[in-house]
Chain A
């Protein structure tokens, strides 16, 4: 055994019994001194502080057996399984697996430290030390991450592990895909109304008809429509490719509607996938594809041959086989020629329509128009020096054309401001920087639901002063993974934890109108 004397770390039955009525107060620390002066008074104060310190630190956890939840450690699964009914902590911690109540190692360790849980392994209770040494590893959470977890839990926050797969992928967000099935209906409905995806199938026209009705009615029937949507879209996209291509071409001239039409088609495909995924495997939580690893053929690029290889069978519904696809007829329908426009043309299109000009409308033929243009150029020459305006590099703005100050400021700002999320979706993940925890505020604990936790208060990335400061790439990456939830960096320095956050700042423009 460890030493000749009886181990002071274990309490005798009488000590255990006596511990039931011990104090739960923490002695207050007095004012600190500036310099040690070797006085007896100072020595005594130090001695008293130290003895209080040691008695606090050496105190053992003693609990009534009836107040302890019993559990076992399952090293293979790296989790803790409850053996007796869970306590109040179940509202915010733990998960059910095949009808069993389980805790993640960090949750179990925290509850052990709080004196709520007794974990057994091979029929023997684990000490707090066992918990630290067995539960914390690179497979679960590191000691540093646990320090942050414990710190936040002790403050009363609800802390869950961050699960990237439960978040919509950057691709899905970029396309504005519905984040979950039950919200899909609402989003799609609005988009679809302007899009030409309407087809002749009965169920679809039924829902289109619903849309024609008033907004109030739509709200009422929302639930019903949500359930119908996947099937109606199933029939839509199960039709021949002609429907899809016609959608794309028809949407073209309609301007803004183009993107919308295409978008709802993609969304429908995903909905269909979800629908099938859940019918194959009802227990699996919404199978979300990693769209970064699934290539979509880009028919417009010249590198693609006329024949497309058959897609990965794992992406197809069961029982459907797809052979090599001949894309030559599709490619003929795509206008592959690039439209070239000079910068002047682009500006002109946006800002000013030639047909609105009354003088131009008065011109009866091309020659008169040309004459008018020449006259104007001549007139202009008086106001502005030709050498400034006729060169490749011209002033940003013509001072004789009045526009609102705000527009002018926009026009002359050569370096445009950017935001944190710009271009972030193109970044690939890194091992060095990742989000660890989602944190929910303590005041929401009363109505907190594990199944539907809602939007987190913040997401935590754990790092240390030994490591590098996150660069812009890391910031963008984490911000895009966290979507609209702020990312907080928990910097662990031995026992100290400091929380830092980088905020996207919109520089205000001061315009008097």
Chain B
């Protein structure tokens, strides 16, 4: 059910240095619901100075981008309105935010005071006034004396540009005006056909440069599952030296993964070959 609604949604791509980046959380969710993983590049707002978990933007692999483009599911993000009149709007918003945060801060202080006073009621009070009176007096004093410095204002450093939009009718045109993408390269084509086939079988794929292959193949969402295969894409005509075969097989076994040699055939199917030590001595 949920898949159906998200599948129909168009993903907004931003281009940075000719790389396709996703910025809006809902686009990230949509892409993930399509089984595309991508890779997060940015510092995580909650804890920016570490590399273990990263945050937005999400970089799409060339194959992921191509798949979305072919499905007419992605469009370039464009900015709808520009700076004109926006400065006043921004300043007005900041002022409103300041007023509201000031009220919130005062309420915060009052409730803190209230808590402190009510808990101290258990202590015998020898003062001349009743606790209620004392509380009212303190609250009034707080009302009068409370200041909320400008520097205490909490501001948002937006991740996504404000007023972003895309024109859904541009979907079909996307490929045409996309900047140079080396996708007519035969090697890219082989990679893409293998990618599309494996994704169509329900696998999740990420890039496998660190394992010396083209893709890492996960049986489910990479958040919960280990990768099982290292994919190496080869066209059918391409020959491969036996030493190369041995070295990739050796590599796969040392990281407990199976190496798959994948070659797209003429009829659109993909041929998969896996390598395994025979165990014979």
Chain A residues near B (Cβ < 8 Å)? 1-2, 7-11, 13-14, 16-17, 19-20, 22-26, 29, 32-36, 42, 45-46, 49-50, 53-54, 56-68, 110, 112-115, 118, 122-125, 127-130, 132-133, 136-138, 142-144, 147, 150-151, 154-156, 465, 491, 493-496, 498
Q: In whole Å, how far is A138's beta carbon from the nearest beta carbon of chain B?
A: 7
- The reply to whether B16 and A127 form a contact with Cβ atoms under 8 Å apart is no
Residues 146 to 164 of chain B near chain A (Cβ within 8 Å): 149-164
State in angstroms the CA–CA spacing of A158 and B32 once bound together. 35
- The reply to whether B48 and A114 form a contact with Cβ atoms under 8 Å apart is yes
- The reply to whether B49 and A156 form a contact with Cβ atoms under 8 Å apart is yes
Q: In whole Å, how far is A315's beta carbon from the nearest beta carbon of chain B?
A: 39
- The reply to whether A61 and B154 form a contact with Cβ atoms under 8 Å apart is no
Closest A-B pairs by Cβ, 6 of them: A495-B39, A66-B151, A493-B209, A13-B100, A113-B43, A61-B157
A-B contact pairs, 28 of them (CB 8 A): A13-B96, A13-B97, A26-B47, A35-B225, A36-B225, A46-B223, A50-B32, A54-B25, A54-B29, A58-B25, A60-B45, A66-B150, A112-B157, A123-B87, A123-B90, A127-B158, A128-B42, A128-B159, A129-B164, A136-B16, A142-B17, A154-B48, A154-B49, A154-B51, A493-B210, A494-B61, A496-B207, A498-B210
State in angstroms the CA–CA spacing of A354 and B49 once bound together. 72
**Most chain B C-beta atoms within 10 Å of own C-beta, residue among A26, A49, A118:** A26
**Quick check: is B57 within 8 A (CB to CB) of the other chain?**
yes
Q: In whole Å, how far is B203's beta carbon from the nearest beta carbon of chain A?
A: 11
- The reply to whether A132 and B57 form a contact with Cβ atoms under 8 Å apart is yes
| B86 surroundings in chain A (CB, below 8 A) | 124
- The reply to whether B61 and A60 form a contact with Cβ atoms under 8 Å apart is no
Q: Which of A8, A11, A154 contacts B26 (CB 8 A)?
A: A8
| B104 surroundings in chain A (CB, below 8 A) | 13-14, 17
- The reply to whether A494 and B39 form a contact with Cβ atoms under 8 Å apart is yes
State in angstroms the CA–CA spacing of A327 and B127 once bound together. 109
A496-B39 CB under 8 A given contacts A14-B100, A36-B219: yes
**Quick check: is B21 within 8 A (CB to CB) of the other chain?**
yes
Q: Which of B29, B100, B156, B226 contacts A32 (CB 8 A)?
A: B226
Closest B residue by C-beta to A141: B17
State in angstroms the CA–CA spacing of A122 and B209 once bound together. 41
| B83 surroundings in chain A (CB, below 8 A) | 122-124
**Quick check: is B181 within 8 A (CB to CB) of the other chain?**
no
Closest A residue by C-beta to B21: A132
| B164 surroundings in chain A (CB, below 8 A) | 2, 129
Q: In whole Å, how far is A24's beta carbon from the nearest beta carbon of chain B?
A: 6
- The reply to whether B165 and A61 form a contact with Cβ atoms under 8 Å apart is no
| B190 surroundings in chain A (CB, below 8 A) | none
| A24 surroundings in chain B (CB, below 8 A) | 46-47
Residues 207 to 245 of chain B near chain A (Cβ within 8 Å): 207, 209-210, 219-221, 223-226
**Quick check: is B55 within 8 A (CB to CB) of the other chain?**
yes
> What are the interface flags for B1-21 relative to A under an 8 Å C-beta threshold, 1 for contact and 0 otherwise?
000000000000011110101
- The reply to whether B155 and A65 form a contact with Cβ atoms under 8 Å apart is yes
A61-B159 CB under 8 A given contacts A16-B154, A128-B42, A154-B43: yes
- The reply to whether B209 and A114 form a contact with Cβ atoms under 8 Å apart is no
Closest A residue by C-beta to B86: A124
State in angstroms the CA–CA spacing of A249 and B24 once bound together. 75
| A130 surroundings in chain B (CB, below 8 A) | 161
New A-B contacts (12) at CB < 8 Å, excluding given A66-B151, A129-B160: A7-B162, A16-B155, A33-B224, A46-B221, A46-B224, A60-B158, A62-B156, A66-B150, A127-B162, A128-B57, A132-B57, A494-B207
Q: Which of B51, B56, B80, B162 contacts A151 (CB 8 A)?
A: B51
- The reply to whether B223 and A57 form a contact with Cβ atoms under 8 Å apart is no
State in angstroms the CA–CA spacing of A2 and B52 once bound together. 32
Q: Which of B28, B45, B154, B207 contacts A59 (CB 8 A)?
A: B45
Chain B residues near A (Cβ < 8 Å)? 14-17, 19, 21, 23-26, 28-29, 32, 38-57, 59, 61, 80, 83, 86-87, 90, 96-97, 100-101, 104-105, 149-165, 206-207, 209-210, 219-221, 223-226
| B210 surroundings in chain A (CB, below 8 A) | 493, 496, 498
Q: In whole Å, how far is B222's beta carbon from the nearest beta carbon of chain A?
A: 8
| B57 surroundings in chain A (CB, below 8 A) | 128-129, 132
| A465 surroundings in chain B (CB, below 8 A) | 209
- The reply to whether B224 and A26 form a contact with Cβ atoms under 8 Å apart is no
| A123 surroundings in chain B (CB, below 8 A) | 83, 87, 90
Q: Which of A34, A42, A59, A124 contacts B226 (CB 8 A)?
A: A34
A17-B219 CB under 8 A given contacts A56-B55, A133-B14: no
Q: Which of B24, B46, B165, B225 contacts A9 (CB 8 A)?
A: B24
Closest B residue by C-beta to A153: B49
Q: In whole Å, how far is A490's beta carbon from the nearest beta carbon of chain B?
A: 12
| B15 surroundings in chain A (CB, below 8 A) | 133
| B44 surroundings in chain A (CB, below 8 A) | 26, 56, 59
Closest B residue by C-beta to A496: B210
- The reply to whether A143 and B16 form a contact with Cβ atoms under 8 Å apart is yes
Q: In whole Å, how far is B82's beta carbon from the nearest beta carbon of chain A?
A: 9
Closest B residue by C-beta to A150: B43
- The reply to whether A36 and B220 form a contact with Cβ atoms under 8 Å apart is yes
| B150 surroundings in chain A (CB, below 8 A) | 65-66
Q: In whole Å, how far is B48's beta carbon from the nearest beta carbon of chain A?
A: 4
State in angstroms the CA–CA spacing of A370 and B65 once bound together. 88
| A144 surroundings in chain B (CB, below 8 A) | 17
- The reply to whether B51 and A155 form a contact with Cβ atoms under 8 Å apart is yes
- The reply to whether A65 and B223 form a contact with Cβ atoms under 8 Å apart is no
Closest B residue by C-beta to A152: B51
- The reply to whether B160 and A65 form a contact with Cβ atoms under 8 Å apart is no
State in angstroms the CA–CA spacing of A196 and B23 once bound together. 70
**Most chain A C-beta atoms within 10 Å of own C-beta, residue among B21, B152, B224:** B224
Closest A residue by C-beta to B107: A17
- The reply to whether B158 and A9 form a contact with Cβ atoms under 8 Å apart is yes
- The reply to whether A26 and B207 form a contact with Cβ atoms under 8 Å apart is no
State in angstroms the CA–CA spacing of A130 and B158 once bound together. 10
Q: Which of A33, A56, A115, A156 contacts B53 (CB 8 A)?
A: A56
- The reply to whether B226 and A128 form a contact with Cβ atoms under 8 Å apart is no
| A10 surroundings in chain B (CB, below 8 A) | 156, 158, 162
State in angstroms the CA–CA spacing of A171 and B251 once bound together. 44
Q: In whole Å, how far is B156's beta carbon from the nearest beta carbon of chain A?
A: 5
**Most chain B C-beta atoms within 10 Å of own C-beta, residue among A9, A35, A36, A63:** A9
Q: Which of B19, B46, B209 contacts A496 (CB 8 A)?
A: B209
| A129 surroundings in chain B (CB, below 8 A) | 14, 21, 23, 57, 158-161, 164
